[in-house]
Amino acid sequence: MPSWHINIKCGDSSILYWIKERCDKMQCRIPVKFLHLCSLLFLVLIGYCDGYLNIFISQSQVMKLMGLEAELFYVREGVPNTYAMTFVVPVPANIADLEFSWQSTAGVPLPYSMELDYDVVGVQGGNPEAVALLRPQVNVSAKGEVPVTLQVFRIRIPCSGLVSAEIPMALRLNVSAPPGTKYNDTSLVFKRNKICLKGVEAPSSNDSIRLEAPLVNGTGALYVAATCACAFILVVGSVVSALYVRNSKARVQESQKTLPCCSYSAAGTGGLTGSSVLVRVDPRPGSANSGSYATIADLEPLYARPCGSRASYYAASHVTNVSQTTDPCDKARAMAIPRSALHCRSVAQEGTFGRVYKGTLNVAGREQEVIIKTVTEVASAYQASLLVVEGSQLAGLVHGNIASLVAACLDSPCPLLAYASSSSELNLKTYLTDGIHHPVTRDLVNVGVQVARAGAFLHGRGLLHRDIAARNCLMEPNSFRVRLADAALARDLFPQDYHCLGDNENRPIRWMALESLEHNQYSTATDVWSFGVFLWELATMGGQPYVEVDPFEMMACLRDGYRLVQPRPCPDELFAVMAVCWLGIARDRPTMPQLLAYLQEFHDALGGFI
């Protein structure tokens, strides 16, 4: 059997003819199926052959910056991730070193140039020493070659600890394309916001790395192009794919083995009937059973922005003890009107003992559109009183994103509660699950911003909602205006979302925080937990959270560190917000005003690229 040396260039369509010609000369037979397979593999390899450069952030770096267990590729097999390049990544004050992994897959080192732009800010009182950021340093030279083997280069951006500031930075890389190829030089700019806090100095580094002078004021490009051996790529690609599939199956099997209390499904996420698929996260060291897969440092903008930022403006602490000094029924009585003032026009929703009508309210000759909640004749006295108590929860509040009670009729066994509305307004969960509407990501983030604004308003007045969910929101489809409503009749209209755990109390188990399930404790932090599940509902278009878990097992699953997995195609930035809402320790979660500030900035950033 002779040995063949095949030198194949990408895009060389003569590969199949070459194989057939060589075999014809040697009078060997080639099965037709083999030629078909070669044709198929060749078409597949054309896609692989364009790969000539990898630039990414390792899993450990992504965990430090974003709290996610994944690698973030900026250039993968020569294809830039333009979406990832558009966002500015915040770098917390306690992180001084940025690491990038890179590799030339062209078979030869590729020339590069590197430059770093940053603003020198923080000089106070005319003291030039009082700067927020010390001189950046890198462990590679300003000009050199991208290595053929996978290597890491580091940029050190230490804070002085003297001044609080947020410093925009831009790393520009220029990699020249190999001569004699069809590829051109391309520019990539990595944007970072370095956060420095007064009193927090740069942590010492144990890395024995050579530090070069800073790179300033430059423009460049980062792109590589090269030919590749398709046969080699085929082998490597097959091995990598096999390892990836095997590791993915191993992770699923391991999750199934370590999940004694929960039923687990390997189906995909998203949609109306899709599985949510749980992910287990190890508790953080030093905090038993926290179940954290994000930390305070992962979303620094939520916790420690310099003075003057939106996060600082909205800063607030968690309210752990909230007392209702006013009887809810007294609020409803204060808004009492005669039955003749309400006209029920059409049924919008109906449950076992409750109904929601579209109608009008006529007071002093002024008519307005309203939503009317009431119970039917088969409802018990307890159900009727529960309607009034829960319907009065937000009474008297005036806010653009809150649907508060405007009138009540209590002079009959079937009380009627009226809420200002528009003729086209409908339930948000109904909107998400009807299969007709297809909002884009920015619209969904806008919904999250409005509900966060309502939650921040409530918490600022010492009030808790206790049931933030899509089913308790009203939405105007045309304008995407959303209002957070009370939970009156929600148990009857959405019975699949509430469960009784033997204590004769129907509760939204899948939306509740761990401490609420364990100790019946409620605080602004538990509202934040529910808000995180609400964001997950938005990302899955009304999907049912923890659908694989029996309600009786929810407490044990959360205690063991299981959380909802990132939906597809949910942006990493949005899922990071969900993740910090589900931290096991209540005080580690962001406040609602901080979530509002972050989501508003993310929404604005999305608008800049549309």
Catalytic sites, residue numbers: 467
Distance, in Å, from the CA atom of 335 to the CA atom of 331, rounded to the nearest integer, reads 7
553-574 b/e (C-beta count within 10 Å ≥ 16 → b): bbbbbbbbbbbbbbbeebbbbb
- List beta partners, residue 99: 154
Which amino acid, one-letter code, is at 140?
V
- Maximum pairwise Cα distance, the chain: 101
Distance, in Å, from the CA atom of 597 to the CA atom of 314, rounded to the nearest integer, reads 7
* Residue 81: how many other CB atoms lie within 10 Å: 15
Strands 562-564, 79-80: parallel, antiparallel or unpaired by DSSP? Answer: unpaired
Distance, in Å, from the CA atom of 183 to the CA atom of 176, rounded to the nearest integer, reads 9
Distance, in Å, from the CA atom of 154 to the CA atom of 140, rounded to the nearest integer, reads 8
Alpha carbon separation from 482 to 135, 377, 401, 417, 453 (Å, rounded): 47, 31, 6, 20, 10
Query: Omega into 569 within 30° of 0, i.e. cis?
Result: yes
Q: Are 394 and 485 in contact (CB under 8 A)?
A: yes
Distance, in Å, from the CA atom of 305 to the CA atom of 253, rounded to the nearest integer, reads 41
- Smallest CA-to-CA distance from 188 within 177, 176, 172 is with 172
DSSP letter string, 142-172 = SEEEE-SS-EEEEEE--B-SSS-EEEEEEEE
